[in-house]
Chains A and B, each alone.
Chain A
């Protein structure tokens, strides 16, 4: 199967901020979370993917078409939800649907109506008159039913209430099951990342830390409680130390070293995904 997205060595400089070089491939049937601190370049990366900005170097291909090329057919395979929908303010939900739905061959009217009901979205009010939460709900209701192969969601749940967040996850899971589809989602919500994502693409201040399979990441980190405090300045795999507590991102190497040096540990545990992300995004290693 041809990947939906192929990003190769993409770089972008914006004032003092450097994004990249980025390499990322999105396969069909996968959900990838873009993870990073504020201003790490997640939104910029999505906008580059949508060709809303030009990269300085590298190639971005969506559905095997170069997004900055003359061929524009790829656009009909992508639905993009930006953090703030610009130009929507003066339209009511109903009018927005009249505008957007005809542009997508696979538009799912039933799903749209279901989302409107589930989220209790008033369709007769102007977008600008809606609360931030309702705006986000309406935007989702106008994005997911487009039924494009690829869904790009930039912080889609930031303003949602708890029931809406849960409904959304169920809807997205169901949506994924209906065909060869993929989602790329930028989110700071740990629940989104835990429950939805297969891969975590981690960005730190524009620099690509890596694209990790979720379990590969959780299995890679271990915490050890040693019987005695270490005297060594640093041991293999160590990413953090607090007295007898040592966190490693390379358990085999750490355990090997501890055994070789006759150091015993009283206990060990795995880390929560939240903690792992914090370690990945910490400025110093």
Chain B
């Protein structure tokens, strides 16, 4: 199974973190259903062109947090997670995405006020669109 994971090497966020977050988002949003078998560590390593060491780290973190479980000799599967946790993940991922765009704006030396204005404009456009 190919997972829609897109890694950014430019990001300051470590690769294993990116994988962990994106997998969490895929699970929380219901893209991958509970009980689905995830690709093997080696298989995902090949698809993402990342070493198994990094993939294993992401999988271990996800397992620790109860998103996935490994069944000996069978593979890794998505767990049935609580709605509260799903909500938490969704909120987190939205926060993180916005934080990242703010970081980008800051790196171009925009002031907080200018960024506020940009956000405001974008939101206004969306409202008009509706």
Residues of A within 8 A of B (CB): 29-31, 169-170, 173, 176-177, 194-199, 213-215, 218-219, 268-270
Contacts and interface: CB of A to CB of B under 8 A. Distances in A.
B6 to A, nearest CB: 15
Interface of B: 9-10, 14-15, 40, 42-43, 45-46, 49-54
A195 B55 CA distance: 13
A197 B46 CA distance: 8
B40 A177 contact: yes
Given A198-B45, A214-B54, A270-B10, 4 more contacts: A173-B40, A176-B42, A214-B51, A268-B10
A177 B55 CA distance: 14
A198 B52 contact: yes
Contacts of A219: 14-15
Contacts of B49: 194-195
A196 B53 contact: no
B53 A173 contact: no
Nearest to B49: A194
Contacts of B45: 173, 198
A196 B46 contact: yes
B52 A29 contact: yes
A285 B53 CA distance: 29
Contacts of B53: 198, 213, 215
Given A269-B10, A270-B9, A215 B50 contact: yes
22 contacts: A29-B52, A30-B52, A169-B46, A170-B46, A173-B40, A173-B45, A173-B46, A176-B42, A195-B46, A196-B46, A197-B51, A198-B45, A198-B51, A198-B52, A213-B51, A213-B53, A214-B54, A215-B50, A215-B51, A215-B53, A215-B54, A268-B10
A262 to B, nearest CB: 15
A177 B42 CA distance: 7
B54 to A, nearest CB: 5
Contacts of B14: 219
A30 B45 CA distance: 11
A199 B9 CA distance: 18
Contacts of A218: 9
Contacts of A29: 52
**6 shortest interchain CB distances as A-B pairs:** A198-B51, A270-B9, A214-B51, A194-B49, A195-B46, A176-B42
Contacts of B10: 268-270
Contacts of A173: 40, 42-43, 45-46
Nearest to B9: A270
A198 B40 CA distance: 15
Contacts of B46: 169-170, 173, 195-196
B107 to A, nearest CB: 9
Contacts of B51: 197-199, 213-215
A13 B15 CA distance: 41
A176 B44 CA distance: 13
A195 B44 CA distance: 10
A194 B43 CA distance: 13
Contacts of A195: 46, 49
Contacts of B15: 215, 219
A167 to B, nearest CB: 13
Nearest to B43: A173
A195 B52 CA distance: 10
Contacts of A215: 15, 50-51, 53-54
